[in-house]
């Protein structure tokens, strides 16, 4: 629905949400409830981690789809992209009754217009950057709400932070140009490169989407971008030609100004870094230079918010930044530590692009130089795997052993007969001697029990369901599996 707006005062406003268990939908439901809306919802009976969040909220939802689930007084129906009126009985009923019906992304866009909003975007790093920004916002006490695309340890395991309504910071997604529904006063671009090939066949296609997003900034809006990333830097240059009224804030090693990365060292399981415009060191206890860059983006954004709120960024604010970054524990499926069992450190990560895989492994190697790194990777979508086939084959250099599987398919594409998980394995073997293949993730369970030894780091990585293998191995070795 175009030009959809939410009332500024949501007190008592009845909203029904179809597909409420989705990560974004649950997070939005929580924010809507915080602003006074009366929320109901529906979804499938399968259990998700969001069930635990939903059950703590003052809302009601059912685990079935039925026209009768929509309250008689519903003023709005919000639905995830997984459901359409042609196939979902509740959405069909909403259309029949003339109830305004909007996608999650459209509702998020309308929500962004209720506050001074900032959108965090990028092919890589947007989830972690948003989580870091929320952590800093909490530390300096800004009146703000934050929405992240994954559960965050520093948010008590939730995807949202609700500290007030003056500012809103959200992770915004480039797929299908969804972020164009958002209305930002500030935008962060962490990285741009070829991805989502089913929608953006070429790099110029995806680049144009980010440029279009940045062009939505109002006069004197701010574009915070990673100067070290060629795509983000190219987008900023293209925007600057058309929009000299925008404030440009680069960050990274090659940036100019306050957010230039002057130094970075790994010391005792910490990344210690210093910025041009700050007189103190900062530290992170999560691995990788790419996460340091995400932290700098968060510092730049929240510094801007603090100055907008208070006029200046004080020494006390900077000290709060420092303490908050040191205590940052990451977010779900982003270098997430499952635990240690049998002397083996188990981790899980959502990285599904070869650049993300390579950078994550590099960071792990720097943090854990004495551990043997074993990665179990499951590629996601045929189109991405085919378009980046050579990059995937070469991205495992910092791992000692590599386990590959079939390609995890997407409902949004059909198999064209091109690449397979087996063909990726054959190509990866040319560049890495320690590669093995198992069609299904759990097929590798017994083999992993044989090859893993004390001192190893075992990480499942990808947007598929191979995380189940790491969870099962950890359960077996930690004695939590009765088998």
> What is the DSSP pairing of strand 222-226 with strand 186-189?
parallel
The residue with greater pLDDT, 159 or 5, is 5
Residues 249 and 129 in one domain: yes
Please, what is the angle between helix 126-140 and helix 289-310, to 10°? Answer: 40
Residues 316 and 411 in one domain: no
Residues 284 and 411 in one domain: no
**What mean pLDDT is predicted for residues 307-332?**
90
Alpha carbons 392 and 351: distance in angstroms, whole number: 12
The whole domain housing 138 covers 115-326
Residues 193 and 56 in one domain: no
Residues 350 and 304 in one domain: no
Q: What is the pTM of this model?
A: 0.81
Alpha carbons 222 and 220: distance in angstroms, whole number: 6
Which of 281, 301, 326 is at the close of a domain?
326
CA distances from 93 to 81, 102, 442 (A): 17, 14, 41
Looking at every residue in the chain, the average pLDDT score rounds to 90
Residues 245 and 270 in one domain: yes
What CATH number is given to the structural domain containing 292?
Answer: 3.40.1190.10
pLDDT at 482 over 60: no
Query: What number of other Cβ atoms are within 10 A of residue 75's Cβ?
Result: 16
What CATH number is given to the structural domain containing 27?
Answer: 3.40.50.720
Residues 405 and 319 in one domain: no
Residues 257 and 354 in one domain: no
CA distances from 454 to 153, 420, 443, 460 (A): 27, 33, 22, 17
Percent of the chain with pLDDT over 70: 96
pLDDT (tens digit per residue) in 280-297: 999 998 877 888 999 999
Give the distance between the most distant pair of CA atoms in the chain.
Answer: 64
The reported pLDDT for the residue numbered 189 is 98
Query: Is residue 163 included in any domain, yes or no?
Result: yes
The reported pLDDT for the residue numbered 386 is 86
Residues 102 and 154 in one domain: no
Query: Is residue 2 included in any domain, yes or no?
Result: no
Query: Is residue 6 included in any domain, yes or no?
Result: no
Residues 131 and 276 in one domain: yes
Give the range among 151-155, 178-182, 305-309, 360-364 with minimum mean pLDDT: 151-155
- Looking at the structure of the chain, the number of domains it has is 3
| Model confidence band, residue 429 (pLDDT cutoffs 50, 70, 90) | very high
Which of 326, 350, 369 is at the close of a domain?
326
DSSP 329: -
């Amino acid at each position: 629905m175009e030009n959809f707006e939410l009332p500024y005062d949501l007190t008592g406003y009845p909203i029904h949400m179809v597909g409420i268990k989705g990560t974004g939908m649950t997070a939005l439901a929580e924010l809507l409830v915080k602003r006074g809306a009366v929320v109901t919802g529906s979804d499938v009976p399968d259990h998700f981690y969001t069930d635990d969040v939903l059950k703590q909220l003052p809302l009601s939802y059912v685990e079935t789809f039925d026209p009768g689930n929509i309250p008689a007084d519903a003023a709005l129906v919000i639905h995830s992209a997984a459901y359409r009126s042609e196939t979902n009985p509740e959405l069909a009923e909403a259309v029949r009754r003339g109830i305004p019906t909007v996608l999650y992304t459209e509702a998020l866009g309308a929500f962004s217009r209720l506050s001074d909003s900032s959108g965090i975007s990028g092919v890589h790093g947007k989830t972690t950057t948003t989580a870091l920004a929320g952590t800093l916002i909490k530390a300096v006490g800004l009146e703000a709400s934050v929405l992240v695309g994954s559960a965050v340890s520093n948010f008590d395991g939730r995807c949202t932070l609700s500290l007030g309504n003056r500012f809103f910071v959200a992770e915004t997604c480039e797929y299908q140009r969804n972020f164009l529904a958002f209305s930002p006063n500030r935008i962060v671009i962490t990285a741009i490169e070829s991805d989502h090939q089913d929608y953006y066949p070429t790099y110029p296609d995806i680049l144009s989407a980010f440029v279009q997003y940045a062009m939505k900034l109002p006069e004197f809006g701010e574009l915070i971008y990673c100067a070290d990333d060629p795509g983000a830097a190219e987008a900023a240059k293209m925007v600057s030609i058309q929009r000299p009224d925008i404030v440009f804030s680069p960050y990274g090693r090659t940036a100019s100004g306050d957010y230039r990365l002057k130094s970075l060292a790994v010391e005792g399981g910490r990344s210690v870094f210093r910025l041009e415009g700050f007189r103190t060191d900062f530290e992170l206890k999560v691995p990788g230079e790419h996460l340091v860059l995400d932290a700098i983006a968060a510092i730049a954004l929240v510094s801007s918010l603090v100055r907008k709120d208070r006029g200046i960024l004080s020494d006390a604010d900077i000290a709060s930044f420092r303490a908050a970054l040191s205590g940052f524990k990451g977010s779900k499926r982003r270098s997430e530590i499952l635990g240690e069992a049998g002397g083996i450190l188990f981790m899980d990560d959502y990285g599904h692009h070869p650049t993300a895989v390579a950078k994550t492994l590099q960071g792990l190697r720097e943090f854990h130089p004495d551990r043997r790194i074993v990665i179990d990777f499951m590629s996601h979508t045929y189109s991405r795997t085919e378009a980046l086939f050579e990059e995937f084959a070469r991205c495992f250099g910092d791992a000692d052993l590599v386990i590959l599987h079939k390609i995890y398919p997407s409902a949004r594409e059909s198999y064209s007969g091109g690449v397979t998980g087996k063909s990726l394995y054959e190509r990866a073997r040319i560049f890495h001697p320690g590669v093995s293949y198992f069609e299904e993730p759990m097929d590798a369970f017994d083999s992993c029990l044989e090859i893993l030894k004390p001192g190893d780091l075992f990480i499942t990585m990808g947007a598929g369901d191979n995380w189940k293998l790491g969870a099962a191995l950890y359960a077996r070795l930690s004695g939590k599996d009765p088998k």
